[in-house]
């Protein structure tokens, strides 16, 4: 079951899933733009051309407080000031909802 959260809510309530507990969204943003500039440019290009289809896939939010899938999309949304993203909570997947 998908719903929507603001990017601000995602950033405030969930950690990036790629590193330890001290890893912040600012760290994630810097790391992805340094390590994967072409991929992040691709996301930005989609947004510049108003191609939001890539952002239709829900961000998978874990019940452990981490983003399990979609951190590139969250970072691109932060950088491009998108307001809301579709999300799915991991507990819904386990329950079959």
d(CA 52, CA 43): 9
Residue-range definition of the domain harbouring residue 64: 2-95
d(CA 17, CA 61): 9
What tens-digit pLDDT sequence spans the chain (97 residues)? 679 999 999 999 999 977 878 899 999 999 999 999 999 999 989 888 888 888 889 999 999 999 999 999 999 999 989 899 999 998 756 555 5
Confirm if 96 and 84 have CB atoms less than 8 A apart.
no
* CATH classification of the domain holding 56: 3.90.1530
Give the number of domains in the chain. Answer: 1
pLDDT at residue 1 in the model = 66
Query: CA-CA distances (angstroms) from residue 81 to 19, 21, 60, 64, 91?
Result: 23, 25, 20, 26, 28
pLDDT at residue 96 in the model = 52
pLDDT at residue 93 in the model = 60
pLDDT at residue 55 in the model = 82
């Amino acid at each position: 079951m998908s719903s929507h959260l603001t990017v601000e809510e995602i950033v405030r309530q969930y950690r990036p899933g790629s590193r330890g507990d001290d890893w912040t969204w600012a760290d994630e943003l810097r790391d992805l733009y340094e390590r994967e500039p072409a991929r992040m440019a691709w996301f930005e290009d989609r947004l510049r051309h108003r191609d939001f289809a890539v952002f239709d896939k829900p961000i998978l939010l874990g019940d452990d407080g981490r983003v399990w899938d979609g951190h590139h999309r969250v970072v691109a949304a932060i950088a491009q000031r998108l307001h809301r993203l579709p999300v799915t909570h991991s507990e819904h997947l386990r329950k079959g909802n």
